[in-house]
Amino acid sequence: MPTHVKRALKYRFYPTDAQAAELSRTFGCVRKVYNMALAARTEAWERQERVNYHQTSALLTQWKQTEELAYLNEVSSVPLQQSLRHLQVAFTNFLGKRAKYPRFKSRKKSRKSAEYTTSAFRFREGELTLAKMAEPLGIVWSRPLPEGAKPSTVTVSQDAAGRWFVSLLVEDPAIQPLAGNGRAVGIDVGLSHLLTLSTGEKIANPLHERRDRARLALAQRRLAKKAQGDGANRAKARRKVARIHARITDRRRDHLHKLTTRLVRESQTLVIEDLTVRNMVKNRNLARAISDAAWTEFRSMLEYKAAWYGREVIAVDRFFPSSKLCSHCGTLAEKMPLNVRTWTCDCGTVHDRDVNAAKNLLAAGLAVSVCGAGVRPQRESSRTGQSAMKQKPPRREP
């Protein structure tokens, strides 16, 4: 039987007071177990020893038997075990040089979440009931689940604004490769325009953060005036700031989802530039605008949706001179300051800077695709003709 794509569908829910208390306890226990396991593995690491998931699972059993940590028995054991599996994945990525050394979870800053597998929840007739709870969650089904879908994993979380969410991992048979149309498009990201396509189309930058900047600044000033010990008032001011941030994030994500879905459906091949956004945001003059444009999130959405629907995403090396190269005759200009938005080549062609860059990205990306370089087209480099991210097999722990 054909395998279907697994996707997580996220819904908001409104817990009862008892459910909220139970979930808050679970979040705290998950964080406690993760930090204790990380401390144990760090101590072993300093002794040049390795501790794996099975050993931390045995430690969890011992912790539950102590008087000091007996409260761990009051919550479902599945989220606690899942936190140990997440820590194992973090160490695997670290040993494979794909991530930094795992960090401890902060009570104030870390994400509040708990993951439940099939043994710890019941899903029947559109109602989801978690372990240790008598009543189902009050979920707002903003969109239907795929027909006949059975969640394999449920993740409950609470954001900084106090909103509760549940994410259900299901197989979606509706996601199938689209029919090929032979279309290819070059995509140049920017700030004045969010995207410029090689077809000449320019997509405006909604400037989500700028629209709420004054309101956000006012809320942040009010929060700054609250004394550290003023618990209730400070918490209220903090939630107000978080709600404004959440609204900005929601609008940005919604716009990017609609945009990337449209691009993937319209084109067979999509060529983008392999930008190092983490270095670009170090520019204090552009950091806020770049963060608001969310180029990294845009690329991530484009790549996973392309994988879903059988499309190809090619990333052109960031050192490729897409802006300075004439897309008509191939002449390379010596300089191209950022304030130059239109320029005339020696051949007489008048270029719009962004449209010209998108056309050059498309040509370079298609050259890579024709040569068949690399095995991961979404990470290919047009300059070297090789994969820009060479994945090394992770080292296994003894």
Which residue in 292, 312, 354, 380 is the catalytic one? 354
CB atoms within 10 A of CB 174: 9
CA distance 278 to 286: 12
**In b/e form, how buried is each residue of 297-329, taking b as 16+ CB within 10 angstroms?**
bbbebbbbbbbbbebbbbbbbeebebbbbbbee
172 is catalytic: no
CB atoms within 10 A of CB 213: 15
Which residue in 209, 273, 274, 312 is the catalytic one? 273
Cα torsion angle, 129, 133, 138, 142, sign: negative
How many residues make up the chain in this entry? 398
Classify residue 199 as exposed, middle or buried by CB count within 10 Å of its CB (0-12, 13-18, 19+): middle
Which residue in 115, 188, 209, 303 is the catalytic one? 188
Q: Which residues contact 17 (CB under 8 A, 6 or more apart)?
A: none
354 is catalytic: yes
Provide the 8-state DSSP code for 117: E
Q: Which residues contact 266 (CB under 8 A, 6 or more apart)?
A: 181, 183, 185
Using CA atoms, how far residue 14 sits from 94, 132, 246, 393, in Å, is: 37, 17, 17, 43
Using CA atoms, how far residue 80 sits from 42, 65, 77, 114, 379, in Å, is: 19, 15, 5, 8, 35
Q: Which residues contact 202 (CB under 8 A, 6 or more apart)?
A: 193, 195, 196, 354, 355
CA distance 113 to 8: 15
Q: Which residues contact 364 (CB under 8 A, 6 or more apart)?
A: 271, 316, 320, 322, 382
Nearest CA among 4, 13, 10 for reference residue 257: 10
The residues pairing with 127 across neighbouring beta strands, listed in sequence order, are 124
188 is catalytic: yes
The residues pairing with 113 across neighbouring beta strands, listed in sequence order, are 157
Active-site residues: which are they?
Answer: 188, 273, 354
